[in-house]
Amino acid sequence: MSPDEQTTSRDLSGRVKHLLDQYDPSTTGPEDFLGARFDAGLAWVHFPPGHGGLGLPQSHQAQVEAELAAAGAPRPAAGRNGIGLGMAAPTIAAFGTEEQKRRFLRPLYTGRHIYCQLFSEPGAGSDLAAVATRAVRDGDDWIVNGQKVWTSGAQNAQMAILVARTDPSVPKHAGLTYFLLDMSDPGVDVRPLRQITGEAEFNEVFLTDVRVPDANRLGDEGQGWRVATTTLNNERVAIGSGAPREGGMIGKVAATWRERPELRDPARHDQLMRLWVEAEVTRLTGERLRQQLAAGQPGPEGSGMKLAFARLAQTVSGFEVELHGEDGLRYDDWTLRRPEAVDFTGREPGYRYLRAKGNSIEGGTSEILRNVVAERVLGLPPEHRVDKDIPWKDLAR
């Protein structure tokens, strides 16, 4: 560690100690503690000073997390607000005005504002640039009409990140604008979508004459594709590189293997070892990716990580069902539930097997991500796109 890094480390430890001295985690409510942590610049140390950060390299965040965890301090509700913390926050930090950062980042971090993502539509899922939801300028507001689909957690959200079409006369990528939308607006209608698991964590959202202030526009008018790309890259890194060693599904399978020797046989042992090694390689690759991204914005490499995660999760969950034999087919609850977060490890193997089928769709389909990796990572020739330069209004739909 260099002398400068040692100085930074001591300063961070001093800041953490001062926070803990002023706000004892055992007697301070989680929202109050997280608000104080945000004000101290310890929410995201790489964010700008005054907006939850200290302008330091992201690599210093691990020290803050470790020292606060050792003190029993509350953490942000990543399960309930993964979209806010993992996608909206870095996008607001990158493109927001000073006023927008002041208004939106603190309540997002403390959990007062839960976010959802209004991107995909019935006719524009994999081809996000083809969205048809319209936003029309009306004085200092935009009037939004359209339909979104596959919106995780919309039933719990106070805010949404929204991509809408503001100029249909230009090619599809150029006519989009990005907004922060208040989900309490009376024109917002959230309806559950029941999944193969029986749950309805996803929703379809109808927007009817929803007024969004221009002050909630993130980035310039027509810059929505660029802003949304930042959001999606953050999402794919978050999905593909978040598991600890022997965490997630591989951890559940390994624990079953150790606890139930009657399920073992040589062929399954070989298969489990291969899956365990693949999970560890994926974890280490994700850690390296996070380190590479510490000084900048995430790039297309996150698409490769998300691809690997989806395939591995589906393979491991299938192995787990086979390992349990007929017990692996048991599924305890087909009632319509509205969970606040996906629980991959607290449920039975049958749930994990069914839910993992969505991993290759959410956060960008595997088919689209293979195109991203091929074109933007490997430098292969792009697919021929006949609609690239045609005004959106002239496209066949």
For the annotated catalytic residues, the residue numbers are 235
Nearest alpha-carbon partner for 131 in 87, 167, 163, 160: 163
DSSP string, 53-113: B-S--GGGHHHHHHHHHHTT-----TTT-HHIIIIIHHHHHHH--HHHHHHHHHHHHHTSS
CA distances to 31, 75, 192 from 24, in Å: 13, 14, 40
The alpha carbon of residue 93 and the mean position of all alpha carbons in its chain are separated, in whole angstroms, by 15
The first and second tokens of residue 158, run together, are 């106070």
CA distances to 143, 252, 267, 303, 307 from 249, in Å: 44, 5, 20, 20, 16
Contact 149, 105 (CB under 8 A): no
Tokens 């693949």 locate to 278
Q: Interior CA angle at 49 toward 45 and 53, to 5°? A: 20
Rounded to an integer, what distance in angstroms lies between the CA atom of residue 307 and that of residue 54?
Answer: 33
